Structure 1
């Protein structure tokens, strides 16, 4: 079998029939809240998303202004259908709140007089995400355009605002309209800022990762950097909302295989774009690495290595490039322990047994590496870090280890029995 036929075969088994996948979506939009007033755009956003998804060959289940009974019923019906499809999408627009680290979607009849009421009156997002965990080989997509504001401030004053980031299970991408702990704009027009940008990008023949990257660029630009969408991804296959993207990808793979001794034609090493800075340069660099250009080729093109910070690469996101020693530092794309705090011993074990995209050489970061993560990623809004303290692997005697606060930017000497967040790192050579 020729290399070209082998390549086509690999594409066939990794991309279902060049886009002949079976797609289903559940779309919920809540505007007319009985206890907290009316939101302007969630129903409009849900209608726009439903129409967009239908045009993209999704079977769409839509529910507007849903009570708790309505939401539970339609989510249950949706979950029962997941086994019949290869792509499943859940979209929600409306009020959402975080209570003691748990994210909730609010039905229109929610009555929240205290924090405990959220467990009984609202919908726990993790219960929806858990339905996708049963189908890790599918393309699972969760989109939450919530957190417009907290309508129940009487019991949450001075506490949590916005959603807490959720580590995605295998085969799933979870997208938030704004960053952790922040609120999203309801928009000044007929649709919310996030959904209007997302619907535009979905219709383009580009990878799902690029859909969300370009949506983020638009939202940041249109909000003057007041709103920054975030995603947590553990997707295990390629996906294009617009199926024309599959045929373009097929052409690229075949072309690259048949011209293996030539510089790849798509994308090009556009030095002007690489040196231009900003998100456009980052998207281009990411594409170059995705299509097989080496790290050395990208750096030799003249791109400053700081432009690589936050780029997806080898199972994580790039923290730092050491050109003198030809090494790089990568952080895991999400917090370990599913975003929970753990003690020092547990943190080490989580990193030791971690495997992402076939890479299993993860470790707790040293104190210096943790500082680089803060300066090169968190301060530039990459990596979805929790605004709290993280463990390093650098110890200070038998009972203590160094940590770093990602809210204040300060170093701390922690007792090893205390509990803090953990983000693993690995070193690569090029």
Structure 2
């Protein structure tokens, strides 16, 4: 964004962090109307005030000189047609996009931003974790009989941290080369432009079983176990889950098990 465009945006937009959503100081667009502003007049005369819905809005609304917004089309998304209610311009941190209206939300068992299966949601569906739609090749956990630090957690939300610890330790397989361990497979996975996948923690695997597999979703195998990123408490085991029952157990790091990548949004 060049300086001129940035100055124009600063003139018409105030920004505030409100929970997971950033709301900008642009007047809501009324049904059937266009968003129009006199930028210089706005900068000089109009104060930005906070309304009861938590969205910054222009205190003078659409009463200012009506100058078309086309000059900002390269910065702002197009105003939706056939709208039935006023829309605010919002930054959605779960998609990293600026859009008119509410941010997208996701449901358990539905599809996530990358096209995976959603098995955990928070913030009223704005955030969560999705599992890739297919398995990666069966693989070892790596670092057999080698102590590593930082992959001990079994908690939901810690799979990414565990995976990073495995990668940072430079783990390799006992019977396979270093490109084939589970953490490295998921780290190099890409789907629909998303490449921030990781190996789920033990409890994240549990949610995948109970929220997806038991409901016939996710295309998981019925027999066999899936790898987690959670260390097994010794140098030779890691934590896994059987997808015939959901039972968690320790499995040798040098054994090959099913691998499913996940990502947070």
TM-score (norm 1): 0.29
TM-score (norm 2): 0.46
Please identify the structure whose Cα radius of gyration is greater: 2
